[in-house]
Homo-oligomer: A and B are copies of this chain.
Amino acid sequence: MQIDQNKIDGYNGQALRKHERALAYLQGEIPHAEEVLRLLGEFQVAIPSWALGTGGTRFGRFPAGGEPRNLEEKIEDIGLLHRLNRASGAISLHIPWDIPEDPAHIRALAAAHGIRFDAMNSNTFQDQPGQEHSYKFGSLQHVNRDVRKQAIEHNIEVIRQGVALGSESLTVWLSDGSCFPGQLSFRKAFENTLEGLSEIYAELPDHWKMFVEYKAFEPNFYSTTVGDWGQSYLFASKLGKKAYTLVDLGHHLPNANIEQIVSLLLMEGKLGGFHFNDSKYGDDDLTVGSIKPYQLFLIFCELVDGMNARNMKHATDLGWMIDASHNVKDPLEDLLQSVEAILIAYAQALLVDRAALTAAQERNDVVAAQEILQQAYRTDVRPLVAEARLRAGGALSPLGVYRGEKVRSGLISRRGVSTIATGL
């Protein structure tokens, strides 16, 4: 299901006047508005294939219908999002949920939608039908070399599939850990995992990156073998220069200062990418920016500053991905909200007067430093985000068009009400 450019233009036309008034006001306030617009225009956030269906918890799942039944339909859905917001031009696949039977076909289909293949994701946290060894007690950490070998080969297979699609990175998230004290040896689990990651790393094409994701808890509830940024950093350092840490916003202990972690990882040249979402308690996988938008802004402040300090290209030198799971929303609407929240935080971070901030820091003027950050954060940057989208051919209000065009009803009538996309 696609939405005609004419349709989008029609919606834009109706909202244009109000938009132009807002934009004009803002351009009068922000001298470097054009630079901000340019950067916003370049920014793309990858959509994970598993976020296109309704997410679930261990207590249940309440799908709303019209979920994509295969990889083609997943790409179609992201194409639709990207057409509306022009900022979702990438997909992050998960194997085995999204095995492409005909990579060339899939690649062409994605290209037709303007979508590239972001990081590939392996899965050693679930057992697949017919799988020889179980991951019940972990994968790369497992005491049994055969299980580890199976997990290593799976990851290498994922790289192979990624190469066929034109992806250039592998995200390794391990649920490995333990549920009870004594269940495993922390040291042996670490050593086994390092050995396994090294074997996978050895198979990585030269221009690829490996992202080692960490997570504090769940589904293991006593220990996690890649449990915090320090552990991920240890692995990435020992692996080599193609290995990086990946930060998922929901994977921390309560009250962690994530922006500081981001800053230090960037400083050490070891930040690889991001999984955006929001949360109140744990890995709640809520819509980006729905709970702690100021934290998101502070993270983007560190990203912008840190990338500038290393002359990195904002749009491409880190992996930007959403990783959310939507229990009570239409998944596509939710993704539109998430991308919007990311762009708003990015735009706000671009408004920060860095020179003034540095000067305030140099004189320990804490009050001024806070004012400078809040000046950027309190600015209503939505007109800039909308303008960047408009210039790229997207919709002033992606959600407005999506609802106006009754997309979900259309998807349900095509795909049925009881389809269930692969994923959690």
- A contact residues vs B (CB 8 Å cutoff): 21-22, 25, 28-29, 56-60, 62, 125-127, 134-137, 143, 175, 178-188, 190, 216-219, 221-223, 227-231, 233-234, 252-257, 259-260, 263-264, 267-268, 279-282, 284, 286-287, 290-294, 298, 301-302, 305-306, 309, 327-330, 333-334, 337, 344, 357-358, 360-364, 366-367, 369-373, 377-380, 382, 399, 424
- Closest B residue to A237 by beta carbon equals B237
- Shortest C-beta distance, A27 to chain B (Å), equals 12
**Which chain B positions have C-beta within 8 A of A136?**
62, 327-328, 364
Give min CB distance, A156 to chain B, whole Å.
22
Whether the pair B181, A260 counts as a contact (CB closer than 8 A) is no
**Are B361 and A185 within 8 A (Cβ)?**
yes
Known: A187-B263, A267-B190, A370-B337. A180 touches B281 (CB 8 A): no
**Contact in complex: B253, A183 (CB < 8 Å):** no
Task: Write 7 A-B pairs (CB below 8 A) sorted by A numbering.
Answer: A59-B218, A179-B366, A182-B360, A182-B361, A218-B282, A287-B370, A367-B399
Are B327 and A184 in contact (CB-based, < 8 A)?
Answer: no
A207 vs B316: C-alpha distance when bound (angstroms): 48
A388 to B179, CA, bound (A): 30
| Contact call A180/B309, Cβ cutoff below 8 A | no
Cβ-defined partner of A57 (8 Å) among B219, B292, B298, B327 = B219
Contacts of A284 in B (CB 8 A): 179, 217, 221
- Supplied contacts A179-B366, A222-B257, A290-B370, 19 more A-B pairs, CB within 8 Å: A22-B25, A25-B25, A60-B135, A60-B219, A62-B136, A143-B362, A180-B370, A181-B290, A181-B294, A183-B366, A184-B361, A185-B361, A187-B264, A221-B280, A222-B291, A282-B282, A293-B294, A294-B294, A367-B399
